[in-house]
């Protein structure tokens, strides 16, 4: 039977960012240097393929340090951790490596600076996300108020409206965040913001790449994990930018081929914690069923690189 034709637009940049690449390298280098097992608190990045690959190499993933049965090396995930976690590791005499993305660490330092200046901090982010938990955990209880939506910002009540600062989770939708910030600035004209955008370059670039192809596509596939904030935002951005339907899949096997009824053009992107091998598997699955023509649409070239901890390079 003749295959129907399908045009595939590949968004670029997509997939791994510098912070994710660094975090994975930290676990791999720790395994090389110290041998297995190396424990990792929380998923190093939100992607099962990555986690399972590292498990096969000897990494053991736990949610809390009390699950570690001895004095083994431990790595903290790319999302960052509350200050109580390294303090607990030191009490337990555990050698630890911090794989927190440097751009998340920048937000932590901003929070500390605002707190030192006596300002109450408004954190724009998603409740329960590890990055949000880690950022709030940099400061004493009550120092940070979480705002998730523009409606939250409208309802916000603060003790001293002239002594506020805001920071943001690094993996949010740019457009949604702009709206929340606009509400905060209207309600609290003296609020202090970051000198430079908190949303990371990789989140921004991947959202811009999706916007560049969204209107051309009948369907968008976003490759990423359901607990990956930046991947879920890409689905939202695709639809808001004009793509009729968009789906988040972790791998090719999760594609529902009924989605492709009357589809002639499909966009593909991947969240910042999804490896390129998963993109190529999706393309291969499409090629099995369609006669495909691929077109990579690039909005920028990424050159950012983060250094590994000195303990792994000395």
Residues annotated in a binding site: 17, 46, 79, 101, 129, 170, 200, 228-230, 273
Cα gap 31→25, rounded to integer Å: 10
Structure-derived torsion over alpha carbons of residues 285, 291, 296, 297, reported in degrees to the nearest 10:
-110
Residue 131 is among the residues annotated as catalytic for this protein? yes
Catalytic residue among 28, 90, 93, 131: 131
- Could you tell me if 210 and 238 are in contact, meaning their C-beta atoms sit under 8 angstroms apart? yes
Please report where in the chains the tokens 């337990």 appear, as a residue: 92
Which CB contacts under 8 angstroms, 24+ apart, belong to 175-179?
A: 175/237, 175/240, 176/149, 176/150, 176/236, 177/124, 179/150
Cα gap 94→70, rounded to integer Å: 8
Residue among 164, 162, 79 nearest 122 (CA)? 164
Query: Phi-psi region for residue 58, left (φ > 0), alpha (ψ -120 to 50) or beta?
Result: left
State both tokens at 302. 């990424």
Please report where in the chains the tokens 């050159």 appear, as a residue: 303
Task: Tell me the binding residues for dimethylallyl diphosphate.
Answer: 46, 79, 129, 228-230, 273
Task: Read off the DSSP letter of residue 138.
Answer: T
- Positions annotated as catalytic residues are 131
């Amino acid at each position: 039977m003749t295959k129907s034709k399908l045009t595939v637009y590949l968004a670029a940049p997509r997939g791994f960012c510098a912070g994710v690449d660094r975090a994975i390298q930290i676990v791999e280098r720790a395994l090389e240097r110290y041998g297995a097992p190396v424990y990792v608190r929380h998923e190093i990045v939100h992607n099962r393929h990555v986690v399972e690959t590292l498990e096969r190499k000897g990494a053991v993933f736990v949610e809390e340090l009390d699950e570690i049965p001895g004095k083994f090396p431990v790595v903290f995930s790319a999302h960052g951790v509350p200050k109580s976690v390294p303090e607990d590791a030191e009490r337990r005499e555990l050698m630890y490596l911090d794989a927190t993305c440097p751009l998340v660490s920048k937000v932590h330092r901003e929070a500390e600076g605002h707190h030192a200046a006596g300002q109450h901090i408004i954190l724009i982010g998603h409740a329960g996300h590890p990055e949000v938990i880690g950022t709030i955990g940099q400061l004493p209880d009550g120092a940070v108020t979480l705002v998730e939506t523009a409606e939250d910002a409208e309802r916000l009540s603060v003790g001293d409206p002239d002594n506020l600062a805001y920071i943001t989770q690094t993996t949010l939708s740019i457009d949604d965040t702009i709206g929340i910030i606009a509400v905060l600035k209207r309600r609290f004209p003296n609020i202090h913001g970051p000198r430079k955008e908190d949303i990371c370059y990789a989140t921004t670039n991947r959202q811009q790449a999706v916007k560049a192809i969204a209107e051309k596509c009948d369907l968008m596939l976003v490759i990423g994990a359901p607990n990956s904030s930046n991947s879920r935002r890409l689905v939202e951005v695709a639809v808001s930018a004009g793509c009729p339907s968009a789906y988040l899949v972790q791998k090719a096997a999760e594609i529902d081929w009924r989605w492709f009824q009357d589809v002639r053009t499909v966009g593909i992107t991947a969240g910042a914690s999804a490896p390129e091998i998963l993109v190529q598997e999706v393309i291969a699955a499409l090629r099995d069923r369609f006669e495909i023509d691929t077109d990579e649409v690039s909005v920028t070239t990424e050159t950012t690189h983060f250094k590994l901890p000195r303990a792994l390079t000395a």
